[in-house]
């Protein structure tokens, strides 16, 4: 009985330590994202203007074209795909918030989405990339999400954990990022990266449980 009372008394303390540790992780994540957003701003501001785009303030909305549709389909209900997102994120060492932000930006949760360039599915995989990653059906949510997460993990490893660079390579292709040694300053790519980083830095994307 006495041991049970001691254990019960220790439980709130253990929970508080766990909560504090989780808060520190969240703050570190947000600080890292803010640093990467600042680095993207510096890249934009330090580039000689060759197009009207470079005169647009960082905070100005830049519209990206929505992905075209393949066969008609409805968005995947987020509550239905949530367990799959959690499982794949854990497997690939990513945060579920990052995968959700990429899916939202890439396809708006449409498993049948096809871009004008031919990218397919939830994570908008190009056919060659999908084939390299072993995807047999790019419109299958589990296959597409798993391959997209694996590709994003590879890019994060390739660029030393720099999320902005990895996202830029996911959007514009790693060869462009490698050749430039920085984020490509295409309007679509800058909009893509900044939108996802903005979503990740917002308090609504941070979960503590």
Domain of 200: which CATH number? 1.10.530.10
Total structural domains in the chain? 1
Helix ranges (H only) for the chain are 2-45, 78-92, 96-107, 127-132, 141-158, 163-172, 174-180, 187-201
Q: Global pTM?
A: 0.67
**Per-residue model confidence as pLDDT tens digits over 144-200:** 999 999 999 999 999 999 999 999 999 999 999 999 999 999 999 999 999 999 999
Regions of the chain where pLDDT drops below 70: 1-12, 14-71, 202-209
Question: Domain range holding 68?
Answer: 2-205
Helices within 108-186 (DSSP H only): 127-132, 141-158, 163-172, 174-180
Q: What pLDDT score was predicted for residue 73?
A: 87
- Which residues are annotated as catalytic? 106
pLDDT at 78: 87
Residue 133 and residue 91: Cα distance in Å, rounded?
A: 15
pLDDT at 72: 73
């Amino acid at each position: 009985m006495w041991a049970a009372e001691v254990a019960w008394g220790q439980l709130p303390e253990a929970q508080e330590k766990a909560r504090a540790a989780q808060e520190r992780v969240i703050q570190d994540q947000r600080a890292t994202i803010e640093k990467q957003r600042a680095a993207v701003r510096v890249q934009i501001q330090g580039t000689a203007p060759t197009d009207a785009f470079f005169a647009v303030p960082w905070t100005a909305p830049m519209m990206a074209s929505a992905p075209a549709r393949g066969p008609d389909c409805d968005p995947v209900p987020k509550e239905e795909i949530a367990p799959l997102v959690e499982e794949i994120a854990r497997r690939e060492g990513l945060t579920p918030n990052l995968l959700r932000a990429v899916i939202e930006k890439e396809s708006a949760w449409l498993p049948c989405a096809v871009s004008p360039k031919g990218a397919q599915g939830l994570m908008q995989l190009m056919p060659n990339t999908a084939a390299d990653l072993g995807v047999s059906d790019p419109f299958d949510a589990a296959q597409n999400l798993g391959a997209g997460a694996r590709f994003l993990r590879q890019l994060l490893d390739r660029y030393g954990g720099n999320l902005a660079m990895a996202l830029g390579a996911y959007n514009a292709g790693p060869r462009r990022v490698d050749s430039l040694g920085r984020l490509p300053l295409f309007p679509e790519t800058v909009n893509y990266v900044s939108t996802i980083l903005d979503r990740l830095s917002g308090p609504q994307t941070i979960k503590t449980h």
